[in-house]
């Protein structure tokens, strides 16, 4: 059975939701404490949402220095898949595993609602989805405005590192970009919460698309 690890920091709050979502997807959930120096045999990694270390200094900045993140970095460098969600996206940008930074929402207000997303292109992260398809996944964040300089954004677009855009930009993200990957394509981050969209009873099961992509990539690590 595929094993998917969820990294837990002081202040994480969506780790249990992520662990449950992994279980619903048919994989074995593995809890990884931030002080752990290995991933417990995990084939894939989720860095979940919350308020790691109380968002002191900058969102995700302290979590990026945790021992477990060294293991996450090694996993990514070996081609293993890593998915950062909300605060996890912030952590991965602070750790240099994903491009850009996350700034406060343009409204300077916390946003919590379903977010319609538009698929930019076909990707192993989005099995069964094609360009122009729509997914509905909830957001809940205050610092979710993704930003990068124009020349970097143009390069990311050219290399196909943009996977999802907001249909209606809720936070001021440059280019309405909602999900980006690293250059190799095995690390992805987004502010919307796929682990909160795994059951139609909750309004949408579209989050399963990204979680399935994570597990599929674990079965076929990206070559260097």
137-161 exposure pattern, b = at least 16 Cβ within 10 A, e = fewer: bbbbbbbbbbbbeeeebeebeeeeb
Neighbours of 19 (CB within 10 A): 20
- The one catalytic residue in 34, 59, 75, 86 is 86
Cα(215)–Cα(161) distance, rounded to whole angstroms? 19
User: How many alpha carbons lie under 13 Å from residue 73 in its C-beta half-sphere?
Assistant: 16
Is the separation of the CB atoms in 148 and 100 below 8 Å?
Answer: yes
Active site residue 193: yes
Active site residue 59: no
Neighbours of 54 (CB within 10 A): 12
DSSP 8-state code for residue 221: P
- The one catalytic residue in 75, 94, 179, 195 is 195
Which residues are the active-site residues? 86, 193, 195
């Amino acid at each position: 059975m595929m094993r998917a690890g969820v990294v837990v920091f002081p202040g994480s709050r969506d780790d249990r939701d992520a662990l449950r979502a992994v279980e619903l997807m048919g994989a074995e959930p593995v809890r990884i404490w931030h002080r752990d120096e290995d991933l417990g045999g995990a084939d894939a990694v989720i860095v979940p949402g919350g308020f790691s270390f109380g968002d002191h200094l900058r969102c995700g900045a302290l979590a990026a220095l945790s021992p477990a993140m060294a293991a996450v970095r090694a996993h990514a460098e070996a081609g293993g898949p890593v998915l950062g969600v909300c605060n996890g996206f912030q952590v991965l940008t602070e750790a240099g595993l994903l491009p850009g930074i996350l700034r406060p929402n343009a409204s300077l207000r916390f946003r919590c609602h379903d977010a319609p997303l538009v698929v930019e292109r076909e990707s192993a992260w989005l099995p069964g989805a094609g360009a122009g398809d729509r997914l509905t996944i909830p957001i809940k964040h205050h610092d979710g405005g993704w930003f990068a300089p124009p020349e970097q954004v143009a390069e990311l677009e050219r290399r196909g590192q943009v996977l999802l855009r907001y249909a209606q930009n809720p936070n001021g993200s440059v280019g309405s970009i909602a999900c980006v990957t690293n250059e190799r394509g095995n690390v992805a981050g987004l502010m919307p919460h796929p682990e909160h969209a795994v059951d139609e009873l909750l309004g949408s099961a579209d989050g399963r698309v990204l979680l399935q992509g994570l597990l599929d990539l674990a079965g076929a690590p990206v070559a260097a």
